[in-house]
Amino acid sequence: MDLKDKVCVVTGAAQGLGRSFVEILLKNGSKVALIDVNKSLGNELKSTLDQEYGRDRTEFYLADVTSEEDFKGVLEKIVKTFGRIDILCNNAGIINEKHWEKTIAINLGGVVRGTYLALEHMKKENGGNGGVIVNVSSMAGLGPLPMAPIYTATKHGVVGFSRAMAAVSKLANYGVRINILCPWFVKTSLLSSMSSEEHIGSFFPLKGIAETMMQNRGCLEADVVAKAFLVLVKDESKNGDVLMIDPDEAVFVSFPERAKDFSTTPVSLE
């Protein structure tokens, strides 16, 4: 996919991984709609990007991905302003094991909402141009993080939902690819919040497990993860694919075709 003049939408765009996704899309010639619930950071980034890329390459939209009204309204504004949506990155996410309903609402609910709402504008049966949706999971979407069971559940949910929706899109000829990004620990404010009892709650005593993982294998920079994101956007052969990236490598994850093809151990029910 050539990114020149493509219209992209990134949620959680104001900082961290979302900001890096915005910047790599702009560097590749796209226009980007930034969605975030943090008004000050969003406006600050818009001003910075205006200086570097010009005022017409980006717009900032204040919206909460847990709000159907917010998210639906903002996507309609984006289509009205830019004419289309070619690329969506559902990136907004938090870690909060205390207020776990909020974590589920943002990390999984926000991804579901963004996928469904964007497909209404993107799918060819609606007169859309097709495109690609990248949903941001985590390596916690592939394996359990003991200090963050709810976060782990939401990220596993993003993988399962996105792989299923990729199959729907293929079967229904939406013309929209849906892929999943699973990064290792990345140096962002979300990762810093892991060090506060406020975010991890009763699992706080287990935070040393994550610290040991980072001591042993390091931490990623957001701009490196953005390169992996770009692979999922540009490679038109990828749909329903899961790209895992850690400090050593970036690899596509293979899932067995059938549940039975997982490594299994027979059990007698006699």
* Binding positions for ligand LKEAN3GG, 141-160, rule CB under 6 A: 142-145, 147-148
Residue 268 CA, distance from chain mean position = 41
Q: By CB under 6 A, is residue 21 in contact with ligand NAD? A: no
* Residue 216, token pair as written in the block: 């042993």
Question: Which does residue 143 bind out of ligand LKEAN3GG, ligand NAD, none, counting CB within 5 to 8 angstroms by kind?
Answer: ligand LKEAN3GG
Q: Are 60 and 78 in contact (CB under 8 A)?
A: no
Question: Which does residue 37 bind out of ligand LKEAN3GG, ligand NAD, none, counting CB within 5 to 8 angstroms by kind?
Answer: ligand NAD
When binding is defined by CB under 6 A, the residue of 82, 161, 174, 185 that contacts ligand LKEAN3GG is 185
Instruction: Give the three-class secondary structure for 34.
Output: strand
Q: Which residue is nearest to ligand LKEAN3GG (CB)?
A: 143
Instruction: Pick the piece of the chain touching ligand NAD (CB under 6 A) from 49-57, 58-66, 73-81, 167-175.
Output: 58-66
Size of the chain in residues: 270
Instruction: Pick the piece of the chain touching ligand LKEAN3GG (CB under 6 A) from 16-24, 71-79, 138-146, 232-240.
Output: 138-146
The question of whether 61 is a catalytic residue gets the answer: no
Q: Are 60 and 38 in contact (CB under 8 A)?
A: no
* Residue 134, token pair as written in the block: 């990248």
DSSP 58: E
Can you say whether residue 127 is alpha, beta or left, with left for phi > 0 and alpha for psi between -120 and 50 degrees?
left
Residues 33 and 9: their CA atoms lie apart, in Å, by 5
Q: By CB under 6 A, is residue 191 in contact with ligand LKEAN3GG? A: yes
Question: Which does residue 16 bind out of ligand NAD, ligand LKEAN3GG, none, counting CB within 5 to 8 angstroms by kind?
Answer: ligand NAD
Residues 160 and 166: their CA atoms lie apart, in Å, by 10
* Binding positions for ligand NAD, 180-219, rule CB under 6 A: 183, 185-186, 188-191
Where helices occur in the chain by DSSP H, the ranges are 16-27, 39-53, 68-82, 100-104, 110-122, 149-171, 189-193, 197-200, 207-217, 222-234
β-bridge partners, 115: none
When binding is defined by CB under 6 A, the residue of 3, 16, 34, 103 that contacts ligand NAD is 16
User: Which parts of this chain interact with ligand NAD (CB under 6 A)?
Assistant: 11-12, 14-18, 36-38, 41, 64-66, 91-94, 106, 110, 136, 138, 183, 185-186, 188-191
User: Which parts of this chain interact with ligand LKEAN3GG (CB under 6 A)?
Assistant: 95, 138-140, 142-145, 147-148, 184-185, 191, 194, 210
Provide the annotated active-site residues. Answer: 151
